[in-house]
Amino acid sequence: MEQDNIYDKIQEILGSLKGNYNILEEQIDIDVQMEYFESSKGIKKTFNKDDALETRNDLFSCEKTIDEKRLILSRLASIENVDAYRALEKYRENPDPELKDWATLAMQESRMLLESSFLDENQVFISTGMGGKGSKLRYFVVFITKQGKTLNEFNRKIMRSEVEYVFKNYDAEIEELNFSDKFATLKTIIPITVQLNELFEDAVSECNQFGDFLEMNFIVTNVKELSFQEIEQVMETSRFPDKEENLL
């Protein structure tokens, strides 16, 4: 678990890069993403672009193995070529089930290469385990009750109305809000320019005007959704000091 602000990390990265950024919208397991980018990095050092382009039709062959197609996808994604992108786009429409995520990442990489060439500026690719939409990233948030108090129906009603009110002011979208006895979970899409701690603190403050029942700290991750059991394990093994955000 990290105590650093996710927003600050993203802004630090963006500030050091010039160009437009593209956010991966699909939710793809972070391990799959790491495997893809490691593969892509290695391929760029060794493959022949002309030979790679000639293999594009092999993506649609039943005779090619999943591993062979995975290699073809990575190679095509490394080529600044419209035909390569079209092949990836077509395959992504009806991929082998095992390669759906890999094909999505390959198509995204290929699109960025073409955009960088056409627009003559760098394209920055931002991907998280939970994906995003447009210029927004998706997060999973856990709000925790004070002293382990149970969230009653009045508390839940307040959270539904006040959290939605605050998030709208930040142009953030609420996708899901669920409740357990001692915490509430939120799946939300937030503009990349929004200070996360400011948003969540405002939401907690608004709710606490009606009973002071939430801690001014929270669990936040953009890697994956946490189950209630996983959240309880985090709460049992971690301390949540006042006014300190716990960011995964």
Examine residue 33 and state whether it is found in any structural domain, yes or no: yes
Mean pLDDT, to the nearest integer, of 202-216?
Answer: 95
- Looking at the structure, tell me whether residues 150 and 219 fall in a common domain: yes
- Final residue of a structural domain among 75, 91, 126: 126
Domain that holds residue 203: 132-247
- Please check whether residue 173 lies inside any domain of the structure: yes
Last residue in a domain, options 100, 126, 152:
126
The answer to whether residue 5 is domain-embedded is no
Does residue 140 sit in the same domain as residue 235?
yes
pTM confidence score: 0.70
Q: Is the pLDDT of residue 40 over 70?
A: yes
Is 73 within 8 Å of 106 (Cβ atoms)? yes
CA distances, 124 to each of 22, 97, 161 (Å):
6, 28, 36
Q: Is residue 24 part of a domain?
A: no
More confident residue, 193 or 2: 193
Choose one of 93, 126, 159: the last residue of a domain: 126
The mean of the pLDDT values for the chain is: 85
3-class DSSP assignment, residue 24: coil
Least confident of 61-65, 115-119, 121-125, 193-197: 121-125
